[in-house]
Structure 1
Amino acid sequence: MAISARVPQRLSHLPFRGSRAVAAGLLTRTMLRGPTWLRLLPDVYVHRDAHRADDHRTWCEAVALRLPPDATLAGRSAAWLFGVDLLTPGDPVTALLPTTSRLRPHPRMSLVRSPLPEEDRTRFAGLPVTTALRTAFDLGRHGSRVEALVAVDALLRRRVVELPALRDYAAARARWPGSPLIREVLALAEPLSESPMETRLRLLLLDAGLGPLTAQHEVRHGGRFVARVDLAWPALRIAVEYDGDHHRERAHFRRDVARLNALRSAGWIVLRFTAADVLRHPEATVALVRQALAERHAATPTR
């Protein structure tokens, strides 16, 4: 008989506690030590056919089985469950534990200890997680300034949280660690930012003193819609855009050419940058934008 025929249906897809399966008579200890089951964490197993090494959801399910009752998934793992992917391949699952809770460390878990009142805990997608507000608050006050802003912008863009509510939440916790960082992040946050790289490009320009600038500006000419641009100085008719890899696709490229020609006909200068421009050559990127702004300022009549 095939091994799959002996697999209990309730254990065929998701991680489970081995001790509970044995106590329920579904498996034996000897069966758990066989090739059908993979041990993910202490006493947590999954069927070999259901295992995907880089599937963050599987690891969230596994870690949740080990959490004390007053702990939750948090940080980037909670954001991922809310539909906002801030992860890099192989990232461990972030879990938040109250200061009195105990859990043995594991390479696939990133354990954070912090006060976790009842109002900051919820369940989402069947798992214990920090609330959307607590998740955004934590991501906005830890790590680097740019990564904190990327996280908050992404959560705002997906409407996981709203900016006024997050500001109120942070203000009520002004003495928590990382509060100076999240205050700065909330002052810079832009719910209209459409991608992490767009956020990074916008912050690069703001830090260079080239603001203020408008996100997702609609360009109209002769009363007709021309295009929506990522970042703009509308009075000077200058646009800055981030081009991701999808812009290299043939159909997208054709649309980009027609769109760029329409913007130029409307009198706009459009500067387009890639990830390499933002991450590897930030000085050159800033210099090009600064030059365009200076040229337009020089050509604009003073009154």
Structure 2
Amino acid sequence: MSSPARVPRRLSFLPFRGSSAVAEGQLTWAMMRGPAWRRLLPDVYVHRDGYRADDHRMWCEAVALRLPPGAAVAGRSAAYLWGADLLDLTAPVTVLLPRTARMRPHPRVRIVRSVLPDTDRTRFAGLPVTTALRTAFDLGRQPARTDALVAVDALLNRRVVKLTDLRAYAAARSGWPGTRLLREVLALAEPLSESPMETRLRLLLLDAGLGPLVAQHDVLDARGRFVGRVDLAWPARRVAVEYDGDHHRERTHFRQDVARLNALRAAGWLVLRFTADDVLRHPRATVALVRQALAERAAAPRRH
């Protein structure tokens, strides 16, 4: 029985250029046609043990090997590398190319062309990527408005971008396409927003005229002791709104939530909780419930 071919360590988990592996004597073209290797892009391969169809980082690694000089991973793909996951599992890798650069189209690549100075490019985890500031600037200019705000909030929350820096960066590029939308997004941006759905819920309430509201508000009891932190709040009326994600359904988290909600109620707070279905499919009913709660609290005598 023949022993399995030895896999060079450098090629065991990361994508690589097939022509380079052959030139260096690590593999042959015949070997790469075998079952141990997966072809991702023209001349780009990965070992089967390193292949994950829905691994966006793997696809970024692969696409980066094909980028022409001066180009970079950008958009939602760059945001993903910076720690803000705004992608679905089948999304192609977004790349930003200088207008004179050339790159062969591919279903796994979304090509965007724009001015890309060296100051807007960096290397992150070994990959050429737009800076976090340029990434936020680009995503904040792309419709729809809600998606633009979700992206900017996510990058601000990851603390890879500061709101003051982004405003200054945008002001210096006021003539670029989409900056009118970006100005509106920056006026609504909230670095404390902890999830895309929380941003969507907050924008829904603001658009309904239910602002101003406070994100990530710390609730204290009558003695000044910490009771809990709520996603969105109207402190003067002691009304809070929270987004209830799937993690709240885990047994341990559920028990903690029950104790927390009881403590908030004892402190005089009314907490409304909404799911993604409420926000995306039943926005009018969601707004109506919040509006009613605020109206009731405004009319009720304040507890002491």
| TM-score (ref. length: structure 2) | 0.96
- Which residue is equivalent to 1:227? 228
Give the whole-Å Cα distance in 1 for the aligned partners of 2:96 and 2:194: 28
- Which residue is equivalent to 2:241? 240
**Which shows bigger deviation, 43-52 or 61-70?**
43-52
Aligned-pair CA distance for 1:300: 5.1
Q: State the SS of the aligned residue for 2:65.
A: helix
- Which residue is equivalent to 1:297? 298
- Which residue is equivalent to 1:100? 100
- Which residue is equivalent to 2:123? 123
Say whether 1:30 aligns with 2:52: no
Identity of aligned residues (%): 77
- Which residue is equivalent to 2:273? 272
Give the whole-Å Cα distance in 1 for the aligned partners of 2:34 and 2:258: 59
Matched-pair contact (CA < 8 Å) for 2:56–2:89: no
Matched-pair contact (CA < 8 Å) for 2:96–2:114: yes
Gaps of 5+ in 2: none
Report the number of matched residues.
300
- Which residue is equivalent to 2:69? 69
Say whether 1:204 aligns with 2:201: no
Give the whole-Å Cα distance in 1 for the aligned partners of 2:112 and 2:215: 34
Aligned-pair CA distance for 1:52: 1.1
Matched-pair contact (CA < 8 Å) for 1:3–1:36: no
Give the whole-Å Cα distance in 2 for the aligned partners of 1:159 and 1:100: 33
Query: Counterpart amino acid of 2:172?
Result: A
Give the whole-Å Cα distance in 1 for the aligned partners of 2:111 and 2:64: 12
1:81-230 alignment to 2 at 5 Å?
81-222=81-222, 223-230=224-231
Query: Counterpart amino acid of 1:209?
Result: G
Q: State the SS of the aligned residue for 1:91.
A: coil
Superposition RMSD on alpha carbons, in Å? 1.3
Matched-pair contact (CA < 8 Å) for 1:17–1:65: yes
Aligned-pair CA distance for 1:33: 2.3
1:29-73 per-residue CA deviation (whole Å, 9 max, x = no partner) reads 222222222211111111122211111111111100000011000
Give the whole-Å Cα distance in 1 for the aligned partners of 2:122 and 2:72: 8
Matched-pair contact (CA < 8 Å) for 2:55–2:89: no
Gaps of 5+ in 1: none
**Which shows bigger deviation, 11-20 or 160-169?**
11-20
Q: Quickly say closer, same or farther: Cα 1:295–1:145, change in 2 above 3 A.
A: same
Q: State the SS of the aligned residue for 1:88.
A: coil
Query: Counterpart amino acid of 2:265?
Result: R
1:205-251 per-residue CA deviation (whole Å, 9 max, x = no partner) reads 00000000001111111221111111111111111111111212222
Q: State the SS of the aligned residue for 2:106.
A: coil
1:173-194 per-residue CA deviation (whole Å, 9 max, x = no partner) reads 1111110111111100001111
Give the whole-Å Cα distance in 2 for the aligned partners of 1:178 and 1:197: 23
